[in-house]
Structure 1
Amino acid sequence: MTPTAAPLKAMALSTSPQFRLIDLFAGAGGFTLGFTASGSFQPVWAVDNNQYAAATYNANFGSHCITGDITHILPDSALDIPPADVVIGGPPCQGFSLLNKNRETDPRKQLWRPFLALVQRVKADIFVMENVPQILGSIEHEEIIQEAESLGFNLAWDKLCAADFGVAQIRWRAFIIGCRFADPKSVFPPVKTHYNADSYPLFSFFNSHKPGLVTPQPWRTVRDVIGDLPPPVGTEINQLPPPLDLHFNRQPSDLSLARYQAIPQEGMNRFDLQLLAPELTPQCWLRKKTGGTDLFGRLWWDKPAVTIRTEFFKPEKGRYLHPEQHRPITHREAARLQSFPDRFRFCGSKIEVAKQIGNAVPPLLAAKIADVVYGLLLSRAIDK
C-alpha cells in the first residue's frame, strides 16, 4: 500500500446509500476521486475541455467524461446529461489568481454561470464549487450568492488548507457549498484532522485536543509521502509499474546542475544561490533583491510541500527542488504530494500529466468535503 493510499481508504464512509455525482471542469478527477473513495457517490457524467484530462478521468472512473467547452455544451438541448444529486467542480481559477496580471478582465471569472445553469438542468440538490481563495469577497462571489439563492440554495463558504486534512502540502482553496434542503453551515467547514506541530509544540505531549480537531495528527510531511522512493530513472514516462512509471528525472544542463549543487541544504532558495554562488545566479535575480523566497527553493523533509502547481518540474517557478537530491521533484512525487494514490492512472504527455496533477483538487481534501455532503444527504433521508 502506498503512503497516500492508506489515509484515503481510511476516510471511507458507509457504502450505502449511493448518490449520483457530476463533475464539471473535471480535470484528471481529483475531486471525483475524493468523493468516490467512500463508495457513497456514483459518478455519472463529467466534462473537461482538455482531451488528455478527460482521458485520465475516463481511465479511472468509466467512459462518461466528455471533452468540450461547457459554454458550448449547455445550449445543446439534445445532449443527454443525466440527473444528479450533487454537482462538483472547479471553474478555472486563473481568472482569480494573483499570478494573473489580467485577472480583472479575465472572462474565466464568469464560468460559474454555466456551472449553476447545469446544476439547474440536472436538478441537483447540492453543489460544491472550488476555486482559489481570492474568489471569496470578490464581485463574482457576491453574484454567485445572489444567483444561487434565487435558485433556492442555502450557502456556506470558507477557505481550507489541504494540510489540515492529511495532504502533505500547504495548499489553500476556497469552497462554496449550496444546498436546497438544509443549511450547509451546520456541517461546513469540515472538522480538521491534522494540525501544525510547529504552532502547537506541546499538543502531543499533553495528548489533549484543540477545539475543532478530531483524533488529530501532525501535518503530513514531504518525508511521509515521498521518502520511500528511490532515485528516479530516465527522463520520460515509462512502462514500469507504479510508482516508478512517473518517477523520472529531467535532463538538466550543466549550469542548472551546478546551481542545484550550490544550494545543497533543504530549505535553501535563490537568495542562498545569490549569496553562495553569484557567478551562477541569473542577472535578473541579482538585480532583484526582494521578492518570494520559494523561487529555486528546496523542499524541507519534515514539513509539508508548498502549493504544487502545473510547472512543478521547473525549480525557477517555485520551491520544487528535492530536499537533498540535485533535481526538481518528479511527477510521481508531485502526485503523491497532491495525495493521489499510486494506482491512479494518468494519460497524456509528461507536460499534460503535470498540468493534471497541478490543477487537481487534492483527493484527500475532496474526501473531507464529500463527508460534509454525504452528511447533508443522509440528514435529508432521516428527516423523510
Structure 2
Amino acid sequence: MNINAVDLFCGVGGLTHGLEQAGINVVAGIDIVASSKFAYEANNNSKFIEADLKKVSSKKIDSLFPKNTDIKVLAGCAPCQPFSSYSYRYKGSDASINKMDLLDYFAKFIVDIKPDIVSMENVPQLSKEPIFMKFVRTLKHHNYSVCWKLVYAPSYGVPQNRKRLVLLASKSADIHLIDPPFNKDNLPDVFSAIGQLPELKAGEIDPHDALHHAAKLSKKNLERIKQSKPGGTWKDWDSRLLLACHKKSTGNTYRSVYGRMEWHKPSPTITTQFYGYGNGRFGHPVQNRAISLREGALLQTFPLNYKFFDTNKNKLSIRTISTQIGNAVPVKLAYYIGKSILKAVND
C-alpha cells in the first residue's frame, strides 16, 4: 500500500523526520519561514516549499501527492504561539491575531483535499479554544472518525516535562494514538538525552560539532549559576545576586527562571529561548552554563547528527536556530504518531 504525506507548517522537519522514521513517505513540507529550508531538506527525504499557506490553493497541495497514492496523509502543526501558556498574555497582539485562523485554513484543506488520514499536533491550551472545537466539528461533519487527547511527552519518549495535544482522524476507520511505550519506571531523562556530550564552558563551541554551542554568560550570571543547585531556585543564591523582582512579594512566581535542570528527571519544556540561562530552568545540570543548541535539539529528540545550518555557507545564529528547535514537533512524538497511523491503516 502506497502511503504518502504532506507536512503543513513543517518548520525544520521534526514531524516529517518522525513520520519518516515510522515508515511513512513525506513528499513535501510547506512553511513560510525560508530559513527552515536547509535543515528540512538536509535531513529528510522530502522537498521544502516556501509559501504562506494562507495563499496556497488546496489544488496545489493535492497535486503534491503522487498519482499512485493509496493513502493520503495530511499532517501539520499550525504555529501555536497564540495559544501557548508562555505567550497567552499576548493573545491580543497583531502577530498572534494573524496566526489565530491558521487552523481554519488547515480545515479548509482537509475539506477540499479529502485526505484519508489527518494528523495535528499542538499545545494543550488549544483544546480550550472555540477554534479547536470548530475544527473537530468540521472533521466529524465530513465523516472523519476523530480522536484527540493531551499526552505527556515523556511517556512517548520525549525527555521534557511537557504535554501536547495530538489529534488523529480517519475517513475509513477508527484511529487512536497507540498506548504510551514508557511509564513512570522508565521515562527518558536529561542524562539519557545529553549526558554523553563533551563538556563546554559558557561561550564555547565544540570543535567537532558547531551546534554544540553554549551562549556566553555575564560575570554576575556566572556567579549565579555557580550557586544554583539542580532543581533549585534563586533562593539558593547569596542576597547580593538577587534581582529586584526576587525581593518583591511577587518574586515567588519566578522560581522556574535562572535554574538548573536535573540529570535524572525530564527537562522543562524546550522553548524558543532555551539557550538563555535567565529564560527558564535551562541551566546545565552540572556545568556552569545554559544548555547548548545541540542539547536543546537532543531534548527535542532530534538525532545527534541532525544538521540545522550549512557550515560552508551560513554563520550560525543562536536566536534563529533556537527558535527553529523550540518550535519543532518533538521527533519521538512524531514517530509514535506515524506508528499510530500505520496501525490504523493496517488494521
Task: Evaluate the alpha carbon distance shift between residue 220 and residue 79 of structure 1 in structure 2; reply closer, same or farther with a 3 A threshold.
Answer: closer
Task: Evaluate the alpha carbon distance shift between residue 171 and residue 316 of structure 1 in structure 2; reply closer, same or farther with a 3 A threshold.
Answer: same
One-letter code aligned to 1:88:
A
Q: What residue in structure 2 maps to residue 202 of structure 1?
A: none
Structure 1 stretches of 4+ moved >6 Å: none
**TM-score normalised to the size of structure 1?**
0.81
The structural deviation recorded for 1:326 is 0.7
Matched, 1:57 2:40: yes
Matched, 1:337 2:282: no
Task: Say if 1:97 and 1:103, in contact at 8 Å, map to a contact too.
Answer: no
Question: Number of aligned pairs?
Answer: 332
Q: Find 1:269's aligned residue among 233, 247, 250.
A: 233
The structural deviation recorded for 1:295 is 1.0
Distance 1:339 1:79 in 2: 30
Q: What residue in structure 2 maps to residue 251 of structure 1?
A: 216
Task: Evaluate the alpha carbon distance shift between residue 44 and residue 63 of structure 1 in structure 2; reply closer, same or farther with a 3 A threshold.
Answer: closer
1:98-177 counterparts in 2 under 5 A? Answer: 98-100=85-87, 101-103=89-91, 106-177=97-168
Q: What residue in structure 1 maps to residue 64 of structure 2?
A: 81
Distance 1:254 1:271 in 2: 19
Task: Evaluate the alpha carbon distance shift between residue 176 and residue 368 of structure 1 in structure 2; reply closer, same or farther with a 3 A threshold.
Answer: same
List alignment gaps of at least 5 residues for structure 1.
1-16, 198-217, 380-384
Instruction: Let me know the Cα RMSD of the aligned residues.
Output: 2.2
One-letter code aligned to 2:317:
S
Task: Say if 2:200 and 2:287, in contact at 8 Å, map to a contact too.
Answer: no
Distance 1:262 1:359 in 2: 31
**TM-score normalised to the size of structure 2?**
0.89
Distance 1:366 1:98 in 2: 22
Distance 1:332 1:109 in 2: 31
Distance 1:78 1:22 in 2: 8
Matched, 1:280 2:241: yes
**SS of residue in 2 equivalent to 1:21:** strand
Q: Find 2:78's aligned residue among 75, 79, 91.
A: 91
One-letter code aligned to 2:3:
F
Matched, 1:34 2:2: no
Task: Describe the superposition over 1:256-275 as per-residue Cα deviations: whole angstroms up to 9, x where unpaired.
Answer: 11111122x211222333xx
Task: Say if 2:232 and 2:260, in contact at 8 Å, map to a contact too.
Answer: yes
Q: What residue in structure 2 maps to residue 368 of structure 1?
A: 336
Distance 1:234 1:315 in 2: 10
Q: What residue in structure 1 maps to residue 327 of structure 2?
A: 359
Distance 1:77 1:369 in 2: 25
The structural deviation recorded for 1:103 is 2.3
Task: Describe the superposition over 1:255-294 as per-residue Cα deviations: whole angstroms up to 9, x where unpaired.
Answer: 111111122x211222333xxx221111122223321431
The structural deviation recorded for 1:159 is 0.7
The structural deviation recorded for 1:94 is 1.0
Task: Evaluate the alpha carbon distance shift between residue 77 and residue 328 of structure 1 in structure 2; reply closer, same or farther with a 3 A threshold.
Answer: closer
Distance 2:235 2:270 in 1: 21
One-letter code aligned to 2:231:
G
Distance 1:129 1:271 in 2: 40
**SS of residue in 2 equivalent to 1:43:** strand
The structural deviation recorded for 1:147 is 1.3
Task: Say if 2:136 and 2:146, in contact at 8 Å, map to a contact too.
Answer: yes
Task: Say if 1:88 and 1:129, in contact at 8 Å, map to a contact too.
Answer: yes
List alignment gaps of at least 5 residues for structure 2.
310-315
